[in-house]
Amino acid sequence: MPPSTEGGAYCFLHRSIRREATNYNKILINNLMSSYNPDKIESKWQQYWQSNKTFKTPESHDKPKYYVLDMFPYPSGSGLHVGHPEGYTATDILARYKRMNGFNVLHPIGWDAFGLPAEQYAVKTGTHPRDTTEKNINRFREQLQSLGFSYDWDREVNTTDPDYYKWTQWIFLKLYEKGLAYEDDVPVNWCPELGTVLANEEVIDGKSEVGGYPVIKKPMRQWVLKITEYADRLLEGLDELDWPQSTKEMQRNWIGKSIGAEIDFAVAAANASEHIKVFTTRPDTIFGATYMVLAPEHDLVNRITSDDQREAVEEYKQQAAQKSDLERTELSKEKTGVFTGAYAVNPASGEKIPVWVADYVLATYGTGAIMAVPGQDERDWEFAEKFDLPIIRTVEPPEDFVGKAYTGEGKAINSDFLNGLGVDEAKTEIIAWLEEHGAGKKAVNYKLRDWLFSRQRYWGEPFPIIHVDGEPKPLDEEHLPVTLPEVEDFEPTEDGDPPLARAEKWVKTTDPETGKPAVRETNTMPQWAGSCWYYLRYCSPDFEGGPVDFDEEKYWMPVDMYVGGAEHSVLHLLYARFWHKVLYDCGVVSTKEPFQRLVHQGMILGEMEFTGYKKDGEWISADLAEGVSGTERIKLQDERVEKKGDHFVVAGTDCMVDAKAHKMSKSRGNVVNPDDIVEQYGADSMRLYEMFMGPLEQVKPWSTKDVDGVFRFLNRVWRLMIDEDTGELNDTVIETDPSGEQLKVLHECIQKVTGDVDDLSFNTAISAMMIFINEAYKWDNHPKSVLQSFMKLLSPFAPHIAEELWQKLGNEESIAYADWPELNEEYLVSDTQMYPIQVNGKVRGEIYVPRDKAKDKEYVLAEAKSVENVAKYLDKGKLVKEIFVPERIVNLVVQ
C-alpha cells in the first residue's frame, strides 16, 4: 500500500516492571526465573514455528479453505507503527482459529515496495532504492516476526522483485492486447521549479508539497488504462460483496453512473452546421432550457464565438486556464461566464437561446456542455440570476415551496406535450420524442475517468513497451521481465524526461522482431500496479507459467477476509477489482471478484491530550481561545484537569480545556513504536491490548498504561498454572473430572469466544477469557482438561504463552493445530433460573426458581408476587396486566 503516516522513534520512559525487579534480592530473582517471562518464551516459540515451518500453507486441497489477507505494507524507513499490528493481529487470530477448526488456511504477507520515499531518499543521498528497500523490508520482517504472526514466510512476495514484476508487466501486455491500454496527451501536474511531475497527492493548494512551488497543468504523453469500459461491471459487482456499506457507497459514487439523455442543439449562427451536444439527467426539463453553457476548454467555443464577443471570450478562457482546480471550486460561490454571441435552438421549444462560456461547466464531464435549466437546477439558477437570463419553471413545486430552483418531484408545467406528467414519465416521453426527431437519445454517463497509468519516476515497474518509428509496440512475453536499468542519478532529466531516460544504453534498443532501432518507454508504472494482483501471486508464488496457477487460484480464491485501512476504499480496491475482471476475461482466474469480505480496521490515535489556553498568564476557556491573538497553548497532565459538566476544565477553575486524542504523527511526537511495547510487555500483551482496546473497525485512542491490564491478565493465567518457585505445574492442576460449575464456566467461555471470533468482536472475547480466569482463581483444583480447553481458546490471541503452557500441560505437539473446543450447551444450564421482577417497568426485586419450574408461568408469577418489595406495590393499586417472558423477565402492570 502507498505509504501513510509514518511513525518515528519514540522512547518510553515508563519502564518494565519485570526489569525494575531485577535489582532486588536473590530470592526474588529466583522467583522471577519461573514467573511469566515473555522475552524468553516468545523467542523460543518464534524459533520453533520457523524451524518447524508450522505455518506452511498446506499443499493439498483436501479440506475447506480459508484465505485471510492483510493489505501488504509499504516498507517505510520508520518501521512498523502501532496501526499495522491492529489489522495484522485480527487476521492472525482468524487464521489460527480457522486452522484449529479444520480449514486449510492461506495467510501470507509481502511488500508493496515500489514507491516514492525510497526514490526521494535516493535523490538526496544517492543510495539505490533497491538497497533502501531491502533494508526496510528486513526491518519490517523482523518486526512482524517478533509479534508472532503465523504467516507462511515461504510465500512472501515483493513487488520490486523482477520475478514478480515480470508478471505485472505480463498483465499490462494483456491489457494492451485487449485495447485497454492506450497513449494519450494528458495534463499532468508539472512543477517547473522542481523540474518534475507530481502525483495529485503531492500537490496541495496548487503548490508542491515539497518546497511550496507553483504547479501547473502540462499536457504530456501518458499511458492510460480504460477502466471506464468496466464501469458497469465494477458497479454491479459490488452488490454481491460482503463489504462495509460505506465503502461500497464510496465506490458507487466514484464510478458515478448517471442515466439521462444526450441532446443535440443546433447552433443558430451564420455557420449553422454546428451542433452542441449536451448530457443531461433531466431531459424532462428541456422546455425550461433558456440558455446553454460550454466549458472554456470546449472545442466549439472558438468556432461559434461572434466577432464582437471574441475578445471577451478569449480573455475569459485565459483566466480559466490559469486557475487551478482548487481555485475554480473555491470561487464557486460566485459564478462567472461570458456570452459567446452565438445562439442555439432548443429542439423541443424551437426557441433561440444564448450560448455562454462558463467554468462552472467542466470540460471533463459529460460532453463539456450543458443545457441550462435554471428553474430546476440550483447552479443554473444562480448563473441566470447573476446574468439576468430567463427562468422558466417546468416542474410545479409544492405550494409551500420557498426557494429558487426546485429539483424535486412534481407535475410538468410550461412543457407543451409533457404537461401534467410526473418526472419519470416525462423523461420517458421526451426521450422517445427526441429519438423520433433525431435530436437526441437515452444516454449513460460516468464520473469515473480512465486511469492515468504512467509516472515519471525511477522506482517503479518499467513498461514492456518499445517505440519503433514513433509507434508504441509491445514486447513479446519471452522478453519479460524488462528490468530496471542502473542510473547514476534518480532525478528527471533537464528536459523533464523521466529518470529512466538517463540510461541511454538501455533506452536505445532494437526491435527484436524486425531488428529496427527502437527506444524503450521511459515512464514507469504507478505504485498501484503491483498491489493490483499480489493476492493472486500468494496462491502460487513460484509458478512460472503465468501470474497464478489456475488450479491454485480455483482453490484459494476469492479472498475470504481482507483487512486493511479505509484510506484504500476507492483507489486500490477499485483498481484491483478492475484488473481482476480483466484477468477473468482472459481466462487467467476463475473468480469475478477478488475480495469476498472486506473489513477496515479503525485508526489508532495517540494518547489522549489535554490542552489548556492562557492569555496574559491567566487561564482562558478553550472555546474562547480560538482566533484570539496572544494565547498560549499548554499541554496539561491528567491530574491538572477535572470534569465539569460535559467538558473538562483546568482543575480549580471554570476554564475549559481541549480534550482530544490526535492522529499519531512525528511532528506531534505522539507516535507509539510497537517495538517498545513488545520490549516492555511482550508480543502477547501487545496483541491482546490491540484487540482489547475496542471494536476492530472503530477509531480508538492508544493508552500505554492500559496495556498493564492485559499484561496482568497474562500473568494471572501463568500463575494459575505455574508454581513460581519451581516453574512446574501448580499442585492444584490435576488430572480429575471437572465439576459442573467448572464445566459451566468453561463452556460459557467457549461459547462467548467462539461466537465473538466469528463476529470479529475480539475485545469481548478477551473479556470472556478474563472472566474465566477470575472464576478459575476461586477454585481449589484445576482439572487439566479444563485448562487445556482454555489454552486453546487463548492461543489465537496470545499464541506464545499458550504454546508454552500447553507444553507444560504435557502436550508434545504445537497447539496451532489442536482441535478448537466444542461447545456443549448442556453444561450451560444452571439449576436455577433468575427472574428480575418489574412493576410498571421498574425492577423491584428478583427471584430464583428451580430449573424445572423456569417456564411455568403460574408458578413464576406467584413467586414474583410474593416478593415483599413487589407485594407492597401490588397492594397500592390494581394489577391490570402480567407480562411473562420465559427465562427473561416478569413485569407487573399496576394502576
Partner RNA sequence: GCCCGAGUGGCGGAAUUGGUAGACGCGUCGGACUUAAAAUCCGAUUGGUAUCUAAAUACCAGUGCCGGUUCGAGUCCGGCCUCGGGUACCA
Nearer to RNA, 183 or 697 (CB): 697
Nearer to RNA, 122 or 691 (CB): 691
Sequence letter at residue 267: V
Q: Is 444 helix (H, G, I), strand (E, B) or coil?
A: strand
What's the min distance (Å) between Cβ of 794 and RNA?
Answer: 13
What letter would DSSP give residue 287? G
What's the min distance (Å) between Cβ of 875 and RNA?
Answer: 13
Q: Are 210 and 198 in contact (CB under 8 A)?
A: no
Spatial distance between the Cα atoms of 407 and 423, rounded to a whole number of angstroms: 10
With cell 532525478, the residue in question is: 491
Nearer to RNA, 264 or 461 (CB): 264
State the distance between the two ends of the chain, measured CA to CA, in whole angstroms.
65
Q: Are 746 and 772 in contact (CB under 8 A)?
A: yes
Nearer to RNA, 249 or 486 (CB): 249
Nearer to RNA, 252 or 479 (CB): 252
Nearer to RNA, 370 or 465 (CB): 370
Spatial distance between the Cα atoms of 403 and 406, rounded to a whole number of angstroms: 7
What's the min distance (Å) between Cβ of 328 and RNA?
Answer: 5
3-state helix, strand, coil in the chain (%, to 5): 40, 20, 40
Where does 192-260 have alpha helices with state H?
A: 231-237, 245-255
What's the min distance (Å) between Cβ of 774 and RNA?
Answer: 5
Those residues with Cβ within 8 angstroms of residue 134's Cβ, 6 or more apart along the chain or in another chain: none
Q: Are 189 and 199 in contact (CB under 8 A)?
A: yes
Nearer to RNA, 455 or 700 (CB): 700
Sequence letter at residue 663: K
Cell numbers found for residue 193: 521549479
What's the min distance (Å) between Cβ of 856 and RNA?
Answer: 18
* Residue 747 vs residues 97, 791, 824: alpha-carbon distances, Å: 17, 13, 7
What's the min distance (Å) between Cβ of 248 and RNA?
Answer: 10
Nearer to RNA, 536 or 605 (CB): 605
What's the min distance (Å) between Cβ of 280 and RNA?
Answer: 3
Spatial distance between the Cα atoms of 183 and 239, rounded to a whole number of angstroms: 33
With cell 461466537, the residue in question is: 755
Spatial distance between the Cα atoms of 323 and 448, rounded to a whole number of angstroms: 23
Handedness of CA 438, 444, 447, 449 (dihedral sign): negative
What's the min distance (Å) between Cβ of 479 and RNA?
Answer: 38
How far, in whole angstroms, is CA 460 from its chain's centroid? 23
What's the min distance (Å) between Cβ of 56 and RNA?
Answer: 33
Cell numbers found for residue 415: 412543457
What's the min distance (Å) between Cβ of 20 and RNA?
Answer: 6
Closest CA to 536 of 585, 576, 493: 576
Nearer to RNA, 225 or 710 (CB): 710
Handedness of CA 191, 194, 197, 200 (dihedral sign): negative
Nearer to RNA, 740 or 886 (CB): 886
Cell numbers found for residue 528: 498501484
Closest CA to 787 of 764, 815, 763: 815
Nearer to RNA, 274 or 297 (CB): 297
What's the min distance (Å) between Cβ of 146 and RNA?
Answer: 23
Nearer to RNA, 367 or 456 (CB): 367
Spatial distance between the Cα atoms of 171 and 480, rounded to a whole number of angstroms: 11
What's the min distance (Å) between Cβ of 303 and RNA?
Answer: 19
With cell 527502437, the residue in question is: 518
